[in-house]
């Protein structure tokens, strides 16, 4: 049986549910397109309590984490976060995550639900004696309030100024009568907050947000929003066989700002030899949608594969991610995708598909 978040009972009358990453989660409330448009024009709230929240504490926590990710963390100020990846020795991506530096030698890792157990095992495997690791996922509710009016909506329930919080900044607030931790981050390309509260307080905060006019949203619109924003999904667009260089995340590797880390030697070899494939953003014509695992072709020959695809609610055009050899990854390259009895025509573009509206 799939796990349920603490909000399942309050969502049950409105939501259509689906299984995702071992959890039973809302797919939609009033409809995917309507929820998508609410986030683009106003604001919506997503229950993302399935995401793992892991605390790393201790005097050696910084050195420990620096060894496990390719991004520099030493220069990260307190109460701020950085998007990065966990790598294996072969330079493959075990997970993508956000690492937050909190006060008192404490770090918070927000990881994907489907890889949470694997991540915890990997972190435990490398854990030194002076560092503590706590998986606090089931003790919390995590909400993502997203959209151009998200900050204003949450502010009506909050003591303390949210507008002054910088992008990837975080802090503690009193929200709807209880303590909450909030970060100015998201997965939609819009401004907004990700809010961590106790499991007991989560249903009340959810209800207060809806009473304040925030639209409840499900996984369906979360997927169309993140794809429009050019954001990869772990398990589809990224996996253990994909390096940051191939996955379009080479900017996460801070070659000159840090020393050794797990996977560095493999990445250096790949950088020298060149990548065999590259993730590309594809914009189509008409209404032919390319779905995951559909072949990508050039002159009838298969050269790659689609990893994500949908009909963009904002553009009313098909959009997709896929992997092709670098020779076919240049902006402007035309590629075709056979979809049942028709041939979809796609062009490689420089993402995102819809410009980000983050602060």
Please report the pLDDT score of residue 227 as a whole number.
98
Report strand pairing: 44-47 vs 215-217: parallel
Q: Do 317 and 285 touch, CB atoms closer than 8 A?
A: yes
Q: Do 30 and 49 touch, CB atoms closer than 8 A?
A: no
Q: Do 215 and 35 touch, CB atoms closer than 8 A?
A: yes
Q: How many CB atoms lie within 10 A of CB 48?
A: 20
Phi, psi of 195 (to 5 degrees): -120, 125
Phi, psi of 220 (to 5 degrees): -60, -50
Q: How many CB atoms lie within 10 A of CB 170?
A: 23
**Hey, which residues does 320 pair with through a beta bridge?**
282, 309
Q: Do 151 and 357 touch, CB atoms closer than 8 A?
A: no
Q: Which of 285, 44, 14 is nearest to 186 (CA)?
A: 44
3-state helix/strand/coil string of the chain: CCEECCCHHHHCCCCEEEEECCEEEEEECCCHHHHHHHHHHCCEEEECCCCEEEEEECCCHHHHHHCCCCCCCCCCCCCEEEEEEEECCCCCEEEEEEEEEECCCEEEEEECCCCHHHHHHHHHHCCCCCCEEEECHHHEEEEEEECCCHHHHHHCCEECCCCCCCCCEEEEEEECCEEEEEECCCCCCECEEEEEEECCCHHHHHHHHHHCCCEEECHHHHHHHHHHCCCCCECCCECCCCCCCCCCCHHHCCCCCCCCCCCHHHHHHHHHHCCCCEEEEEEECCCCCCCCCCEEEECCEEEEEEEEEEECCCCCCEEEEEEECHHHCCCCCEEEEEECCEEEEEEEECCCCCCCECC
Contacts of 106 (CB under 8 A, 6+ apart): 55, 56, 57, 61
Give all domains of the chain, ordered by start, each with its CATH number.
3-50+138-228 (3.30.1360.120), 276-359 (2.40.30.110)
Please report the pLDDT score of residue 199 as a whole number.
98
Please report the pLDDT score of residue 1 as a whole number.
79
Q: What is the dihedral of CA 222, 225, 227, 232, to 10 degrees?
A: -50
Phi, psi of 271 (to 5 degrees): -65, -40
Contacts of 264 (CB under 8 A, 6+ apart): 70, 91
pLDDT in tens, the chain (359 residues): 789 999 999 999 999 999 998 999 999 999 999 999 999 999 999 999 999 999 999 999 999 999 999 999 999 999 999 999 999 999 999 999 999 999 999 999 999 999 999 999 999 999 999 999 999 999 999 999 999 999 999 999 999 999 999 999 999 999 999 999 999 999 999 999 999 999 999 999 999 999 999 999 999 999 999 999 999 999 999 999 999 999 999 999 999 999 999 999 999 999 999 999 999 999 999 999 999 999 999 999 999 999 999 999 999 999 999 999 999 999 999 999 999 889 999 999 999 999 998 86
Measured CA to CA, the distance from residue 20 to residue 4 in angstroms comes to: 11
Measured CA to CA, the distance from residue 350 to residue 41 in angstroms comes to: 24
* Dihedral over Cα of 31, 5, 45, 317: its sign: negative
Measured CA to CA, the distance from residue 62 to residue 160 in angstroms comes to: 29
352 upstream amide cis, omega within 30 of 0: yes
Please report the pLDDT score of residue 359 as a whole number.
64
Half-sphere exposure of residue 285: CA atoms within 13 angstroms, side-chain side = 10
């Amino acid at each position: 049986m799939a796990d349920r978040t603490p909000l399942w009972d309050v969502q049950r009358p409105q939501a259509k549910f689906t299984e995702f990453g071992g959890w039973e989660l809302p797919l939609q409330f009033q409809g995917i397109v309507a929820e998508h448009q609410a986030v683009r024009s106003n604001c919506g709230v997503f229950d993302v309590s399935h995401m793992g929240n892991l605390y790393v504490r201790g005097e050696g926590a910084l050195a420990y984490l620096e060894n496990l990710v390719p991004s520099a963390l030493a220069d990260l100020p307190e109460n701020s976060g950085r998007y990065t990846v966990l790598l294996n020795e072969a330079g493959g991506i075990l997970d993508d995550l956000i690492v937050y530096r909190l006060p008192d030698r404490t770090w918070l890792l927000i990881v994907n639900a489907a890889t949470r157990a694997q991540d915890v095992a990997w972190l435990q495997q490398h854990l030194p004696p002076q560092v503590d690791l706590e998986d606090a996922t089931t003790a919390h509710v995590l909400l993502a309030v997203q959209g151009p009016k998200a900050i204003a909506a949450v502010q009506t329930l909050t003591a303390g100024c949210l507008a002054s919080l910088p992008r990837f900044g975080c802090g503690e607030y009193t929200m709807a009568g209880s303590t909450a931790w909030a970060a100015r981050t998201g997965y939609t390309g819009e401004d907004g907050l990700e809010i961590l509260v106790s499991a007991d307080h989560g249903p009340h905060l959810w209800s207060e947000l809806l009473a304040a006019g925030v639209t409840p949203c499900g996984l369906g619109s979360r997927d169309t929003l993140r794809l429009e924003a050019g954001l990869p999904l772990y398990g589809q667009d990224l996996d253990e066989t994909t390096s940051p260089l191939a996955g379009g995340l080479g900017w996460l590797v801070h070659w000159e700002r840090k020393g050794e880390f797990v996977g560095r030697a493999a990445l250096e070899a790949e950088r020298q030899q060149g990548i065999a494939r590259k993730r590309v953003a594809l914009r189509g014509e008409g209404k032919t949608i390319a779905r995951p695992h559909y072949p990508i072709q050039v002159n009838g020959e298969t050269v790659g594969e689609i990893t994500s695809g949908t009909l963009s609610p904002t553009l009313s055009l098909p959009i997709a991610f896929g992997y092709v050899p670098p020779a076919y990854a240049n902006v402007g390259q035309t590629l075709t995708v056979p979809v049942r009895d028709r041939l979809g025509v796609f062009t490689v573009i420089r993402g995102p598909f819809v410009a980000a509206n983050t602060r």
